[in-house]
């Protein structure tokens, strides 16, 4: 195949790509932060003594995890306004991705909680801590450190999911890549650069999270 | 909600929706089947290949796993049409999903083989099995059992990712639903319906996976 | 008579570290030789070389007169092709410290695998042989159990049956009781002792001094990659000739 590579057109638009990447990272960061809280609540819900709470949490987690994220994005953006919940593109996407993150992280936390030795809670009780303090000072910190690798994987795949914001015209990296593609016709270059930016960002995030894991891990 | 309108419209659109659903099943099953075959080869190469092959496959898998599926689909779609190769949207989308699936299966197989203790290979060698016999009679049966849950998970990911083909104009189930919505304006009802269908599809796959898992479980 | 095992000037290094520094050892049919010595003395490595699980740098190992693992070709030493190596491995049987049973196969299938794949026996014949050996090690009643359903001692007995069903010329035992709970040791040792009585040629690495004394026709004490002292068990345990061996024996009396 003789194809004249010409990356100049793509580089001319580097500011758009950078802007898109930044927006993607921002969307991921906010959604993950909300998702972490949501996920923790759902995880405790799934392990709760109250049947109703268990049922609600389980439904939330299974429903979200088994639905394609694109359907959720479209639902939140196009259908929720019919129920009077109208949001702009970006808040709507953050809302969707947070819900999504929450369900995935809930599953991670739940398995982390189940894997904790029962002795941890009993030791807490033995030194006179209340249930709430046991959760706050023993259960959550230990569980968090154990599930960090699994969380990292989820963070990376949530960042990749920000590419879907392009489907509702949120101007992130994939959106701009399509735009440059259409305007410049430098198809191969555009998509090569776009994927490389994603891969690079994923590698960077992974490296950052690994350092965090090493920092937080319990010495043994 | 206009439940009666919804039911009437659902019935009216049944043929189109079923056709879309069939496409979804076709895309997913085809991509999972081809992707798994390719992925098993990738995993073998990653585990037993010579160094240059291992490096090439490592780049292949990491690149594909670091790029969002959505970007892969768009890239396959635009690049092949630009390169003058005759791939329609359906084929380009399936190709992207197949590549995506192969990178995951490859990595899963590598991990599963890696987790088998070295003593298994030694014991097989000591009763005179060749490498090929060791692989087919001792390593692969254990690796496949170990892979099954993650592989089923990958299959549900592919079903969910097949919705992204709607963006490049493949009339799979989601796009069929969107076409109905554009005629009927019942976005809330139909998006919920779409979510429910995908939920059922994935739930069925998960249950089937569990049933197989139970069947082939090693008694202990 | 051709010795079953003949090792001459065997050397083996892991990188810089030389673990076998010239071993000479011959065994004849019916010999039971125990290798004793502290950890790191090279006994397990020696065993693994004989089963070709390790490559070795210099020296020669012959099983029933056949040099194994390598051939001389125009003055060059070449590793044999994989198929040859596999055939030669089957001339010796190996029982491992960690049993290494195949977890996805039942006890009888574990024993049958080598018979059907290496010896290409028909399934029914392989099953009959497997069952008779499982009977010999007292495991016939549990032939359809999976390794995960058996105790450590039972797993080790199946593993021994798996190795010996291949009718090897020489059986190698690598610390077969070290991974077992104390109460399970004797059932495995009884199986090994029976095999010795039936005339099986056996080379074993063991930490059970009393057992080595009972079962062996010869005991070899290894130290730092060399054979330090060897002789009949009465001599090795009753009248050790070197200070090193005396020190080793008094340390392992516990």
Task: Please write the tens of the pLDDT for every residue from B175-197.
Answer: 999 999 998 888 888 999 999 99
First to last CA, chain B: 52
| Distance from chain centroid for Cα B179 | 25
Write the pLDDT tens digit of every residue in A84-99.
888 999 999 999 999 9
Cα–Cα distance for residue pair A137/A126, rounded to 1 Å: 14
Q: Which CATH number fits domain A8-216: 1.10.3720.10, 1.20.1090.10, 3.40.50.300, 3.30.70.20?
A: 1.10.3720.10
Once rounded to an integer, what is the mean pLDDT over residues C176-184? 89
Write the pLDDT tens digit of every residue in B66-105.
999 999 999 999 887 777 777 889 999 999 999 999 999 9
Chain B residues with CB under 8 Å of A82 CB are 187-188
Q: Which residues contact B178 (CB under 8 A, 6 or more apart)?
A: A74, B166
Chains A and C touch, using 3 or more CB pairs below 8 Å:
no
At residue C253, the pLDDT reads 62
- Please say if the pLDDT value at position A2 is more than 60: no
Whether residue B178 lies within 8 A of chain A, CB to CB, comes out as: yes
Instruction: Determine which helix (DSSP H) or strand (DSSP E) holds C62, and give its type and residue range.
Output: strand C58-63
pTM as predicted: 0.87
Write the pLDDT tens digit of every residue in A47-87.
999 999 999 999 999 999 999 999 999 999 999 988 888 89
Cα–Cα distance for residue pair C244/C51, rounded to 1 Å: 29
* Nearest CB to C53 within list B126, B138, B141: B126
Nearest 5°: CA angle at A96, between B151 and A156? 50
Residue with tokens 């991921």: A28
> What tokens were used for A123?
């030791």
Cα–Cα distance for residue pair A107/A32, rounded to 1 Å: 14
Do residues C233 and C221 touch, judged by C-beta distance below 8 A?
A: no
**Residue ranges of chain B with pLDDT lower than 50?**
none
Residue C20, SS3 per DSSP: strand
- Chain B residues 71-90 with a CB less than 8 Å from chain A: 71-72, 74-75, 78-79, 81-83
Percent of chain B at pLDDT above 90? 81
Whether residue A74 lies within 8 A of chain B, CB to CB, comes out as: yes
Please provide the average confidence, as pLDDT, over all residues in chain C: 92
Enter the DSSP assignment of C4: S
At residue A107, the pLDDT reads 94
Whether residue B192 lies within 8 A of chain A, CB to CB, comes out as: yes
At residue C77, the pLDDT reads 87
> What is the domain extent for residue B20?
3-216
SS3 sequence of chain A: CCCCCCCHHHHHCHHHHHHHHHHHHHHHHHHHHHHHHHHHHHHHHHCCCCHHHHHHHHHHHHHHHCCCHHHHHHHHHHHHHHHCCCCCHHHHHHHHHHHHHHHHHHHHHHHHHHHCCHHHHHHHHHCCCCHHHHHHHHHHHHHHHHHHHHHHHHHHHHHHHHHHHHHHCCCCHHHHHHHHHHHHCCHHHHHHHHHHHHHHHHHHHHHHHHHHHHHHCCCC
Count of the separate structural domains present in chain B? 1
The structural domains of chain A, with segments of one domain joined by +, span 8-216
Enter the DSSP assignment of C42: S
Largest CA distance in chain A: 75
- Please say if the pLDDT value at position A127 is more than 90: no
* Nearest CB to B218 within list C90, C92, C104: C104
The domain spanning residue B183 has which CATH number?
1.10.3720.10
Residue B36 half-sphere exposure toward CB, CA atoms < 13 A:
15
Residue B160, SS3 per DSSP: helix
The b-or-e profile of A83-117 (16+ CB within 10 A means b, else e) is: eeeeeeebebbbbbbbbbbbbbbbbbbbebbeeee
- Please say if the pLDDT value at position C201 is more than 90: yes
Rounded-to-10 torsion of CA C97, C102, C107, C113: -110
At residue B57, the pLDDT reads 96
Write the pLDDT tens digit of every residue in C90-147.
999 999 999 999 999 999 999 999 999 999 999 999 999 999 999 999 999 999 999 9
| Contact check, Cβ <8 Å, C86/B126 | no
- Please say if the pLDDT value at position A220 is more than 70: no
Which pLDDT band, with edges at 50, 70 and 90, does C73 fall under? confident
| Count of other CB atoms within 10 angstroms of residue A133 | 13
Which pLDDT band, with edges at 50, 70 and 90, does A181 fall under? confident
* Nearest CB to B123 within list C96, C145, C149: C96
- Please say if the pLDDT value at position A1 is more than 70: no
Do residues A16 and A86 touch, judged by C-beta distance below 8 A?
A: no
């Amino acid at each position: 195949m003789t194809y004249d590579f010409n990356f100049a057109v793509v580089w001319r638009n580097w500011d758009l790509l950078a802007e898109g990447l930044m927006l993607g990272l921002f969307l991921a960061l906010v959604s993950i932060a909300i998702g972490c809280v949501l996920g923790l609540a759902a995880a405790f819900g799934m392990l709760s003594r109250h049947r109703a709470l268990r049922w609600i949490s389980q439904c939330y987690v299974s429903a979200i995890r088994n639905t394609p994220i694109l359907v959720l994005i479209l639902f939140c953006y196009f259908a929720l306004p019919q129920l009077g919940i109208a949001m702009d593109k970006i808040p709507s996407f953050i809302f969707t991705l947070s819900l999504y993150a929450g369900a995935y992280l809930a599953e991670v936390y739940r398995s982390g909680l189940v894997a904790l030795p029962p002795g941890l809670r009993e030791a807490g009780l033995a030194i006179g801590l209340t249930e709430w303090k046991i959760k706050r000072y023993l259960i959550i910190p230990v569980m968090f450190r154990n599930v960090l690798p699994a969380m990292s994987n989820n963070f990376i795949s949530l960042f990749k999911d920000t590419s879907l914001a392009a489907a509702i015209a949120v101007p992130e990296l994939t959106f701009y890549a399509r735009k440059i593609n259409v305007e410049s016709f430098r198809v191969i270059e555009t998509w090569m650069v776009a994927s490389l930016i994603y891969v690079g960002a994923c590698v960077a995030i992974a490296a950052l999270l690994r350092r965090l894991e090493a920092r937080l891990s319990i010495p043994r | 909600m206009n439940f009666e309108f919804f039911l009437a419209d659902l019935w009216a659109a049944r043929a189109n929706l079923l056709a879309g659903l069939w496409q979804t099943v076709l895309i997913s099953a085809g991509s999972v089947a081809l992707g798994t075959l390719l992925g098993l080869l990738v995993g073998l190469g990653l585990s037993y290949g010579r160094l240059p092959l291992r490096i090439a496959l490592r780049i292949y898998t990491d690149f594909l796993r670091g790029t969002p599926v959505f970007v892969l689909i768009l890239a396959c779609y635009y690049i092949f049409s630009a390169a003058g190769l005759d791939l329609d949207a359906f084929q380009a989308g399936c190709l992207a999903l197949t590549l995506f699936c192969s990178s995951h299966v490859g990595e899963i197989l590598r991990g599963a083989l890696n987790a088998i203790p070295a003593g298994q290979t030694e014991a097989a060698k000591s009763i005179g099995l060749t490498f090929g016999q060791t692989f087919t009679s001792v390593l692969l049966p254990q690796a496949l059992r170990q892979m099954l849950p993650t592989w089923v998970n990958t299959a549900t990911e592919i079903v969910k990712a097949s919705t992204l083909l709607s963006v490049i104009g493949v009339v799979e189930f989601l796009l069929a639903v969107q076409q109905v919505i554009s005629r009927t304006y019942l976005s809330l009802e139909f998006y919920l319906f779409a979510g429910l269908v995908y939920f059922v599809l994935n739930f069925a796959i998960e249950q089937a996976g569990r049933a197989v898992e139970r069947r082939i479980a090693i008694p202990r | 008579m051709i010795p079953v095992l003949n090792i001459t000037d065997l050397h083996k290094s892991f990188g810089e570290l030389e673990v076998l520094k010239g071993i000479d050892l011959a065994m004849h049919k019916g010999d039971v030789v125990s290798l004793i010595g502290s950890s790191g003395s090279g006994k397990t490595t020696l065993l693994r070389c004989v089963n070709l699980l390790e490559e070795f740098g210099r020296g020669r190992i012959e099983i029933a007169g056949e040099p194994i693992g390598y051939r001389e070709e125009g003055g060059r030493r070449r590793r044999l092709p994989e198929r040859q190596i596999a055939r030669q491995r089957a001339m010796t049987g190996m029982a491992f410290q960690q049993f290494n049973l195949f977890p996805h196969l039942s006890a009888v299938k574990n024993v049958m695998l080598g018979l059907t794949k290496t010896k290409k026996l028909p399934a029914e014949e392989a099953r009959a042989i497997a069952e008779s050996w499982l009977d010999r090690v007292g495991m016939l009643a549990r032939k359809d159990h999976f390794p995960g359903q058996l105790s450590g001692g039972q797993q080790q007995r199946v593993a021994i049956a798996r190795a010996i069903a291949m009718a090897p010329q020489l059986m190698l035992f690598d610390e077969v009781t070290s991974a077992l709970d104390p109460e399970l040791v004797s059932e495995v040792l009884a199986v090994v002792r029976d095999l010795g009585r039936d005339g099986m040629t056996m080379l074993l690495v063991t930490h059970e001094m009393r057992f080595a004394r009972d079962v062996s026709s010869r005991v070899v004490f290894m130290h730092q990659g060399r054979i330090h002292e060897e002789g009949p068990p009465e001599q090795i345990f009753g009248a050790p000739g070197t200070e090193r061996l005396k020190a080793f024996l008094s340390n392992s009396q516990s």
